[in-house]
Amino acid sequence: MFSSLYADHISWRSDYEKSLVEAKKEHKVLMVLVVKNNCLNCNKLIKESFINQPYINDLQNKTIAVIVNNQSSTNYPRELFYSTEYPTLFFVDPQTELFLGKPLHYPIKKDEITKLFKELQ
């Protein structure tokens, strides 16, 4: 007997500017995850909160998700997404680039993501 498993997960983009343009065009919220190199909590957050969770389809349909590394040369507005705690998750209005709630820092509880996302709708 053959069975298939579908792992719901976020499709992360890595280019902030392209993601911003896409979010504006599609009228979606920009979800920005700021990580750093060798960050165990960053990997744990992705595995625990963004794979096989009941809210993943809603996030996929209503946000453009971008992951940026604070230590890379990738161009993103570091001063806007400044943090001393990693990982940090931001929900952003792509038209104004204003935060749509306070940033979430690890450990981020699944109900915090659900609550914040519901407030955005």
CATH of the domain at 46: 3.40.30.10
Taking residues 26-50, report their average pLDDT. Answer: 94
Structure tokens at 20: 């911003």
Cβ count near 53 (within 10 Å): 17
Query: What local confidence, expressed as pLDDT, does residue 121 receive?
Result: 64
CA 49 – CA 14 distance, rounded (Å): 18
Where residue 4 falls among pLDDT bands split at 50, 70, 90? very low
Decide: 50 and 121 in contact? Cβ < 8 Å.
no
Backbone conformation region of residue 52, classed left if phi is above 0, alpha if psi is from -120 to 50, else beta: left
Q: In this structure, is residue 8 part of a structural domain?
A: no
Predicted confidence at residue 118, as pLDDT, reads 75
pLDDT at 95: 96
On whether residue 95 sits in a domain, the answer given is yes
**Residue showing tokens 């599609």:** 26
Residue 4 in any domain: the answer is no
Q: Which residues constitute the domain of residue 44? A: 16-120
**Is residue 5 a part of any domain in this protein?**
no
* Domain assignment present for 21: yes
31 within a domain of the structure (yes/no): yes
12-35 pLDDT, tens digit per residue, is 999 999 999 999 999 999 999 999
- What's the token pair of residue 119? 């407030």
Does residue 109 lie in a domain region? yes
Which pLDDT value is given to residue 52?
A: 86
> Could you tell me if residue 98 is inside a domain?
yes
Q: Work out how many domains the chain is built from and give that number.
A: 1
Query: In this structure, are residues 30 and 20 in contact, taking their beta carbons and an 8 Å threshold?
Result: yes
**For the segment 52-94, what is each residue's pLDDT rounded down to a tens digit?**
888 888 888 899 999 999 988 677 898 899 999 999 999 999 9
Does residue 13 contact residue 71 with C-beta atoms inside 8 Å?
no
